[in-house]
């Protein structure tokens, strides 16, 4: 009976855990924003002969996505919010780890399409290069956060 009570209490989310999950939710919103507006650009880079420059709306959405990922990521990382404050769910942890890898595959594909496939055709503009680097770094940070969350959810499972 005592073992069951300990497990039940360990599966409760603490206030710190709730704040951590809210920060992760903001990061998810940023990643979805980047993916929603980035996938059509990625597809056009691979398919079209001519490269269209991004309009102001796409740049604004990219900045919003970067901010939605970076602000909560660094707040959580520097404040030391530990994902151990959330309950243990092994299957959910594995699903989150899968999403982290899938996200990183997309980011790697974006980098390869821009730099290796179409790099010679794209005019180098410093602010665009900085924007691409910021998007890639943000998605990398998001992948790290998903890995941290997935490992916390699946803790004590052999990964």
The average pLDDT across 55-83 equals 87
Specify if 54 maps to a domain: yes
3-state secondary structure 93-126: HHHHHHHHHHHHHHHHHHHHHHHHHCHHHCCCCH
| Helix runs in the chain, H state only | 2-10, 15-47, 56-79, 90-111, 126-153
Measured between alpha carbons, how far is 85 from 144 in angstroms, rounded to an integer?
17
Amino acid 8: pLDDT: 47
* Residue 34 belongs to a domain: yes
Question: Mean pLDDT in the chain?
Answer: 80
Q: How far apart are CA 128 and CA 124, in angstroms?
A: 8
Under DSSP, is residue 12 helix (H, G, I), strand (E, B) or coil? coil
Domain count, the chain: 1
| Domain span at 122 | 2-153
Residue 1: its pLDDT value, please? Answer: 46
- Give the span between the Cα atoms of 147 and 142, in whole angstroms: 9
Would residue 68 count as lying in a domain? yes
In a domain, 159, yes or no: no
pTM of the full predicted structure? 0.80
Query: What per-residue confidence (pLDDT) applies to 6?
Result: 47
Encode pLDDT of 8-60 as tens digits. Answer: 445 566 677 788 889 999 999 999 998 888 777 766 666 665 556 667 888 89
* Position 141 pLDDT exceeds 50: yes
- Domain assignment of residue 24, yes or no: yes
- The answer to whether residue 153 scores a pLDDT higher than 80 is yes
């Amino acid at each position: 009976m005592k073992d069951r009570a300990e497990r039940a209490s360990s599966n409760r989310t603490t206030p710190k855990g709730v704040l951590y999950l809210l920060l992760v939710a903001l990061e998810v919103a940023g990643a979805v924003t980047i993916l929603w507006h980035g996938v059509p650009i990625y597809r056009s880079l691979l398919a079209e002969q001519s490269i269209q420059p991004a309009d102001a709306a796409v740049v604004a959405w990219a900045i919003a996505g970067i901010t939605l990922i970076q602000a909560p990521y660094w707040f959580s990382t520097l404040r030391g919010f530990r994902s151990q404050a959330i309950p243990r769910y092994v299957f959910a942890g594995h699903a989150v780890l899968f999403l982290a890898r899938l996200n990183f595959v997309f980011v790697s594909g974006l980098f390869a399409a821009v730099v290796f496939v179409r790099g010679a055709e794209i005019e180098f503009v410093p602010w665009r290069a900085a924007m691409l680097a910021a998007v890639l770094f943000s998605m990398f940070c998001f992948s790290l956060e998903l890995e941290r969350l997935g490992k916390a959810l699946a803790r004590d499972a052999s990964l």
